[in-house]
Amino acid sequence: MAQATPQGPVILKVTGNLDPADPADGEVLFDMAMIQALPQHEVVTSNPWVDKPHKYVGPKLADVLTEVKANGKSITLTALNSFQIRINWDKVKQYDPILAWQDDGMTMRVRDKGPLWFILPLDQHPELRRSEFTDMMIWQLSAIDIQQ
C-alpha cells in the first residue's frame, strides 16, 4: 500500500530513511482511507489535555513505519503549524503509540487536534506521565521524518 496514490486529501507525509527500492522517491503520502486501511488499535487513556479518559483509535506508529519500510531510530514528528518534536524510537516503541484519527468514536477534525494525534497509553504506563513523554504527544500531526 505504500506505493498507493492517495485518492483524498493528503493528511500525512512520511520522509527520510525509507527503503531505497520504494519508487516513492523517499516520500510516502497517506490520505485518511490509507491510514484507516492499516490495522487499527484502541488506546483508552487520559492525558493532560482532556478531563477524562478517551478512547482513541488509529494505526500503531510501528505499522506505519513498517508500511513505508522505514529504517531509523530518530523520528521527527511535525504538526500542521510546523511545531516539531524529535523522538527516540527505541525509547517509545515498547509502548505501542498510535496515530489516532478517532477520539471517542468521532473522526478528529483539525480544530479537535486532528486529523492525527500521536497517542501514548499514559494510563497503562504511569512512567509515561513525565513531560519527557507527554511532550511527544503532538496533535495535528502532518509529517514524519525518519533518520538514523
d(CA 25, CA 2): 12
Please, which pLDDT band fits residue 1 given cuts at 50, 70 and 90?
Answer: very low
Tell me the CATH number for domain 10-147: 3.90.420.10
d(CA 110, CA 144): 17
CA dist 82 → 76, 93, 95, 101, 136 (Å): 11, 24, 25, 19, 14
Mean pLDDT of 100-105: 98
Please, which pLDDT band fits residue 51 given cuts at 50, 70 and 90?
Answer: very high
Q: Residue 21: what pLDDT?
A: 58
Tens digit of each residue's pLDDT (9 = 90 or more) over 4-29: 899 999 999 999 998 765 555 679 99
- The structural domains of the chain, with segments of one domain joined by +, span 10-147
Q: Residue 135: what pLDDT?
A: 95
d(CA 68, CA 45): 28
Mean pLDDT of 37-55: 97
